[in-house]
Every structure is written in structure tokens, then in C-alpha cells.
Amino acid sequence: MNQPATPSPAFRQPDFTLPLGACDTHCHILGPVARFPYADSRPYTPAESGKTVLSALHERIGVDRTVIVQATVYGSNNRIVLDAIADRPQTRRGVALIDAGTSDADLQALHDGGIRAVRFGFIRHLWVPPDPTMFHRLMERIALFGWHVLLHVDATGLDDLQPLLDALPVPFVIDHMGRIDAAGGLAQPGFVRLLEWARRDHCWVKVSAIDRLSATGAPFADVAPFVRALIDASPDRLLWGTDFPHPNPRHPVADDADLVDVLPLCGDADAMQKLLVDNPARLYGFID
């Protein structure tokens, strides 16, 4: 799907002030295509939204640290993420896409460049799920670097993946709150199972892409009860991310400040400190 318009980095400063050291743990960089061409086999063609756009957004909404997730349109060529991290190596980390062709030397170069995780998808209409044997071998290899794995999966499919997840030698992070739908309410089976998984010591959850989860759209307040429930279940293993520049959105995000201003509805100052600062600092190795 083509996306012809470059998203705005933000139109206003948020009303809520993020704490010092706040981290956006899920955002993407796209282009410039002349320097970082998309893969021929990409699943969609997004508009350009380069690192200067991301930096401007973060400066405006008050983000100090960043985790850049390799976009699927680049496949396993992670050069664009490494380039952005190199600009600010103390405050940026990355999540890579790798495959069976990724060598040990490649992994070392990624680690040296600030990569701290890899991402795999198990949603068949968006990803080709990895071969289980290959996946397990890759997990053993990234474990040597102290990385974790980011999983793009529907919460309703977590139980089907239990044998795979139970065998992981690394922590795993569930993307986008397991893609639950706020319209389904707190008692929907997928969210009930997500809460159960979130209580496990090796499982983390990203409070990200809430524009996709919201049934009502901006200001996305209908997602707040779900975040509060996750904070109650697992306050020390939650992360927050914008998902900027919002590929394939459910609702147009006119202003990313809305994603910040919903946070006070989700928890108190202590909860926000953990969600926004302490938890990502611990998982991604940010050091003051």
C-alpha cells in the first residue's frame, strides 16, 4: 500500500511533560530513498520520513532516548538504523531484522553499532513466520550478545506459540500490546491472555501504536484502561513507543502530542517513571 504523504512530526507541544530520560522504544526511519533504497520485495511503499524528522518530533514532545526499529521495507539490510544510531550513540539503540544468512560477524557489527534486539513477526497476512528450527538457532546466537526478541503477534495467537516462547533463551517483548482492539473491552480473551503472559518474568509488553488499538481515535483515551491493567500486572516490564511515522494507521495521527497526553490517564508519576525511563534504560542498556 502506498502512503504518499509524509506524516507531520507534531503540531504542538504536549500538555504532559515527559520525565527526564523518557524513551520512545518503537519508531521507524524511512529514507531518504536515494540514500537508503527500499527492498524490492517490500510489503508496502511508505512515504519518506528520515532521521531529521524523527529528531524534530522527539525534541518537540520531550523524548530524550530512542529505540529505532528496522522497518520491514528494508528487510535485513539494517544500514539505515545503524546510521541513525551513530549520530547519537549514547541515546539511541536499535532493533534489527535478521535471517539465516546473518553471520556472526554481522551480529557483532550490529551489536557494536547499538543494536540490542531483533524482531520477528507471526501474523501471516503481514509476515512470513520464521522456520522454528532457524528461529531457535538465531535466538541462541543473539543470546550471546544479551539481546532480546521483539515479537509482532496477535495476543489471541500467543497460546499457539507457547512451545516456541517457552524454549526461548532470551527475553521477549510483545509488540503493540498484542494488537488488541479497545472496542472489545478489558474482558476480551486476547487481552486476558496478554495480562497472563505479561506476569511472566521473561515477557515484556510494548505500549505502542495505540492509534491502531483505539476504537475512537484521538485523543485515544479508550486505550488508557488497558494500559492501567498492564501496569497493575507488570509495572517493571512495560515499555512505551509512538510507532512514528505510523505505517498503515487505523486512525490518522494528526499530532503525536496526543500519544503523550493520554499517558497521565494510564498511571501515576511512579508508573510513568518506570514505563518511560527506568524499564527501557534497563532493557536497552542506557547509562546516565
Q: Where are the beta strands (DSSP E) in the chain?
A: 23-27, 65-69, 92-96, 115-121, 148-152, 172-174, 203-208, 238-241
150-164 pLDDT, tens per residue?
999 999 999 999 999
- Domain ranges in the chain are 23-284
Low-confidence winner among 37-41, 113-117, 136-140 (lowest mean pLDDT):
37-41
The whole-number pLDDT of residue 8 equals 53
Give me 61's grid cell. Answer: 514532545
Q: Is the pLDDT of residue 1 over 50?
A: no
- 3-class SS of residue 194: helix
Domain 23-284 carries which CATH code?
Answer: 3.20.20.140
pLDDT of residue 247: 84
Instruction: Look at residue 9 in the predicted model and tell me its pLDDT.
Output: 53
The span from the CA of 158 to the CA of 195, in Å, is 11
CA–CA gap between residue 102 and residue 202 (Å, rounded): 25
pLDDT digits (tens, 9 = 90+) for 242-262: 999 998 778 877 799 999 999
Rounded alpha-carbon distances, angstroms, from residue 244 to 124, 158, 167, 183, 259: 23, 25, 32, 23, 10
27 CB contacts (<8 Å, ≥6 apart)?
A: 54, 66, 67, 68, 69, 241, 242, 243, 244, 245
Q: What is the rounded CA–CA span in Å between residue 239 and residue 207?
A: 6
What is the bridge-based pairing of β-strands 203-208 and 172-174?
A: parallel
Active site residue 243: yes
According to the model, what pLDDT value does residue 4 have? 39
Q: 46 and 76 in contact (C-beta within 8 Å)?
A: no
Residues 241, 202 contacting (CB under 8 angstroms): no
> What is the percent of the chain with per-residue pLDDT over 90, rounded to a whole number?
88
| Mean pLDDT, all residues of the chain | 93
Per-residue pLDDT, 5: 44
Residue 119 in contact with residue 68, Cβ under 8 Å?
Answer: no
For residue 64, give the nearest of 82, 86, 88 by alpha carbon: 88
Q: State yes or no: pLDDT of 103 exceeds 80.
A: yes
- pLDDT value at residue 112: 98
CA–CA gap between residue 130 and residue 152 (Å, rounded): 12
Does residue 7 carry a pLDDT above 70?
Answer: no
Which is catalytic among the residues 24, 175, 211, 243?
Answer: 243
As given in the structure block, the three cell numbers for residue 79 are: 544500514
Q: In percent, how much of the chain has pLDDT > 70?
A: 95
Cβ atoms of residues 7 and 253 within 8 Å? yes
- Computed over its alpha carbons, how large is the radius of gyration of the chain? 17
Prediction pTM value: 0.94
Summarised one tens digit per residue, pLDDT across range 27-58 is: 999 999 999 999 998 888 999 999 999 999 99
What whole-number distance in Å separates Cα of residue 86 and Cα of residue 126? Answer: 30
Residue 71 and residue 78: Cα distance in Å, rounded? 9
Buried b (16+ CB within 10 A) or exposed e, 6-21: ebebbeeebeeebeeb
Strand partners, 65: 23
Residue 193 has pLDDT above 90, yes or no: yes
Residue 4 φ/ψ region, left for φ over 0, alpha for ψ in the -120 to 50 degree band, beta for the rest: alpha
Q: Which cell numbers in the block locate residue 113?
A: 553499532
